[in-house]
Amino acid sequence: MANNVRLTLVFVTIFGVLSKSAQATDCPVCVGVQACDTNQTIPSVPCTATIVNQTVLQLNQFFTNLSTYTAPATEYSCVSVEFSLTVNSSNIFAVRGCTSGTKNICSEPHREINGALRCIYNSGQSLHDRGHSVLTGLLLNMAVLIGAFALSS
């Protein structure tokens, strides 16, 4: 019985770590003002090298020295960038996606631009609803733990 409980706890711990890392690499992805409209649901997808390259390619027109954000990585970050000609005008550029690593791409130097650039970076969490993703992860881990204890008894 004690071995079953230990095995169950090891399984739950490994599952919790794996589910946490899976959640950390899901980012909303869109390119273009209409696709990134905040009044619609933007799909979150697991980050891949292809999505990272697509995102960074779009951001090259605003930021300099982005090569470190395309390097092969085991960790990814989410980024959302919008640009408008003035603070109160409509966006003329929008992109959401993934970057490699956990370094803040928004703190990188940017090119001389005439307009308002808004950048939101989030390392390891969704850009949708941060509280919801944490709560979902906790509930999922609790359900697995309860199920594992039920199976072991």
Question: Could you read off the pLDDT tens digit of each residue along the chain, which spans 153 residues?
Answer: 444 433 333 333 334 433 444 444 799 999 999 999 878 899 999 999 999 999 999 999 999 989 889 888 889 999 999 999 998 899 999 999 999 998 999 999 999 989 999 999 998 654 544 444 444 454 455 554 464 555 566
pLDDT at 74: 87
Q: How far apart are CA 52 and CA 56, in angstroms?
A: 6
What pLDDT does residue 149 have?
53
Tokens of 114: 């005439």
Other C-beta atoms within 10 Å of 74: how many? 8
Q: Which two tokens stand for residue 18?
A: 């794996």
State the Cα torsion 44-104-122-114 to the nearest 10°: -80
Facing residues of 89 across strands? Answer: none
Q: Which residue in this structure is represented by tokens 């004690």? A: 2
